[in-house]
Amino acid sequence: MRIHHLNCISSCPLGGRLMDGRSRSILERGELACHCLLVELPDCLVLVDTGMGRRDVQDPHSRLSGFFLALLKPDFRDEMTAFRQVEALGFDPRDVRHIVLTHLDFDHAGGLDDFPWATVHLMAAERDYAVLQRTWLDRQRFRPQQWSTAQTWRCYEPAGGERWFGFQRVRQLDGLPPEIAMIPLPGHTFGHAGIAVQGENGWLLQAGDAYFYREEMHAQRPHCTPGLRFYQWMMEKDRAARLATQQNLRALKQDQAHQLTVCCGHDPVEFEQLSGRSARLPASGFVSVS
């Protein structure tokens, strides 16, 4: 299966280098990607995460929280939405028949409204918790304004499938082949999952927000920038689970490096390595296949 890498609206957080580890100073804003995948199946397309969507671009203040708009200052460009990048690759957005979500944070679920015909797959625990809107921070991150398609979501329990490289796997996703797997990776949120896709070069695990910075996956000396360490601490729902998930991913990456690739949702360096282009550029018909 062909996999295209799409950055669906960068975030430009305060703290610059303290966040992304590559901006020139801590005074400028940094740049974090929103790494989505577009998978070509023989008869349709599948999106893994949606980033922020066209309605977020058109009217961010009605859709997103003032807190996160100030903190992250997303780079709202219509050409960077998943909908527009699907078109730029020469596809019809109506052929996006399935969307598989790592979790429901606003920067992953904002594009759902742009594909109302698609079946949305996510963990039941993610939907069940997000709708509670329990804490102030929950209400800033989980945005019901982005959930016009919620009536048709398909939700899954964590177990039920064959194990995947030692990880639990949810049962076969409705209407999708076994080459697309949902792997529970809890901690960042209660129902957070990684999405694994078996492409032309082996398995690719999009680990969502299970980690944020590429060096967190170093086997011997894992490292994270102070800004992203703080951000992950602020956003975590279950610390013990989050740290265990990261440890499991490090071990997976070390043991299976020859047959799988792991990436996260927001590291721009990982995105650029896998996509072969700058995180600031939309996909086009001539590049971005791995």
CB of residue 14 to Zn ion, shortest distance in Å: 16
In the block, residue with structure tokens 């939700």: 155
Closest CA to 289 of 39, 108, 98, 9: 39
Interface stretch with Zn ion, choices 42-50, 57-65, 125-133, 257-265 (CB under 5 A) = 257-265
Asked if 126 touches Zn ion (CB under 5 A), the answer is: no
Question: Measuring CA to CA, which residue among 29, 31, 25 is closest to residue 14?
Answer: 29
Choose the stretch contacting Zn ion; rule: CB under 5 A; options: 82-90, 110-118, 247-255, 261-269: 261-269
How many chain residues are in contact with Zn ion, going by CB under 5 A? 4
Nearer to Zn ion, 105 or 270 (CB): 105
Give the DSSP letter of residue 27.
S
Helix residue ranges, H only, 218-288: 226-235, 239-255, 268-275
Q: Does position 270 bind Zn ion by CB under 5 A?
A: no
CA 198 vs. chain centroid, Å, equals 17
Which CB sits closer to Zn ion, 37 or 89? 37
Nearer to Zn ion, 188 or 250 (CB): 188
47-106 positions binding Zn ion, by CB under 5 A: 105
Going by their DSSP bridges, the two strands 193-199 and 202-206 should be labelled as: antiparallel
Stretch that binds Zn ion, among 5-13, 110-118, 202-210, 267-275 (CB under 5 A): 202-210
Hunting for tokens 């023989």 — which residue is that?
A: 42
H or E segment and range at residue 155: strand 154-156
The one-letter amino acid at 2: R
Q: Cβ(38)–Cβ(3) under 8 Å?
A: yes
**89 or 231, CB closer to Zn ion?**
231
Q: Which is nearer to Zn ion, 63 or 89 (CB)?
A: 63
One of 113, 209, 216, 267 touching Zn ion (CB under 5 A): 209
Q: Does 107 bind Zn ion (CB under 5 A)?
A: yes
Residues contributing to the site for Zn ion (CB under 5 A): 105, 107, 209, 265
